[in-house]
Amino acid sequence: MPHVIVKLYPGRDEERKRRMAEAVASTVEEILGCDRKAVSVAIEEIPRVDWAEKVYRPDILDKEDTLYVRPGYDPLGE
């Protein structure tokens, strides 16, 4: 507790993903007051062509009640 999943387009190198995951874990630890051993961060690379159906619709549109930061784009054009 807590577990954070970051979904993004493929293309970042492993060092950049590692640095981002460490920064997210540090921020979670600091703000929530969690022990670092309790924090986990995963990265899922989603191809651009699949983004709308695999991320935008299920994780953003269908879960608006849990979304704290809304994106400024709409790949569905709705």
Same domain, 59 and 40: no
Domain range for 12 is 1-45
The DSSP H or E segment spanning 39 is: none
Dist CA 4 CA 71 (whole Å): 18
How many domains does the chain fold into? 2
Same domain, 2 and 32: yes
Residues with a catalytic annotation lie at 2
Same domain, 40 and 7: yes
pLDDT of residue 32: 97
Peptide bond into 71 cis (omega under 30): no
Dist CA 40 CA 71 (whole Å): 24
Q: Which residues of the chain have a pLDDT value below 70?
A: 78
- Looking up residue 18, the CATH number of its domain turns out to be 3.30.429.10
pLDDT of residue 77: 83
